[in-house]
Amino acid sequence: EIRSFLLRFRAEGFPPFAELCLYMAVRCFHVENLILPNLRRGRHVVCDRFSDSTVAYQGYGRGLNIELIRQMNRRATGSLVPDVTFLIDVPVEVGLSRLRRSPDRMEGEPLEFHQKDRQGFLKIAEENPDRVVVVDGTQSVESVFSQVVERVKGFLNCP
């Protein structure tokens, strides 16, 4: 419900810090009620987005203090960090051209915002080479999929 609120277009402006706080609230709720219980059961958890997205979007994209965002992420997640993160990287124009529906509020941001986000994600990958795997998303879907599957198999020690 909060995510839907965040992504809806609105007439009034959305203060970047309010946006950050709401994303952190959602993240904390998600970690406490879904991720941690499953990890405690010995299950693997796959997320579409996690704390790196907040650093990229609200830090690099919105210009909020990155160290503050990292501190808030640590508090919201109990310092939980993914074991592996896949960054499917494409030029901004390519990514936006792949939308198959009307853009939401974040997707509808100006090109410059998305370029800052992409640079933020690439900086995060550069700073965390043992955790973040960058995959060239301009390749075929099959190629991207098989690269991710191979890395996951290696991570899980599967044949």
The predicted pLDDT at position 67 comes to: 98
Mean pLDDT of the chain: 94
The predicted pLDDT at position 52 comes to: 97
The predicted pLDDT at position 158 comes to: 82
Q: Residue 44: which residues within 8 A CB-CB, separation 6 or more?
A: 156
Residue 16: Cβ-neighbour burial (10 angstroms; 0-12, 13-18, 19+): middle
The predicted pLDDT at position 159 comes to: 75
- Specify whether the CB–CB gap between 50 and 56 falls below 8 A: no
Distance CA 131, CA 124 (A): 10
The predicted pLDDT at position 157 comes to: 83
Give residue-wise pLDDT tens across range 8-33.
Answer: 888 788 899 999 999 999 999 999 99
The predicted pLDDT at position 100 comes to: 87
Amino acid at 49: R
Question: pLDDT under 50 in the chain at which residues?
Answer: none
Residue 57: Cβ-neighbour burial (10 angstroms; 0-12, 13-18, 19+): buried
Q: Residue 60: which residues within 8 A CB-CB, separation 6 or more?
A: 66, 116, 117, 119, 120, 123
Angle between helix 66-77 and helix 16-30 axes, rounded to 10 deg:
20
Total-model pTM: 0.91
Distance CA 134, CA 153 (A): 16
Task: Take residue 109 and report the two structure tokens written for it.
Answer: 């941001």
The predicted pLDDT at position 8 comes to: 83
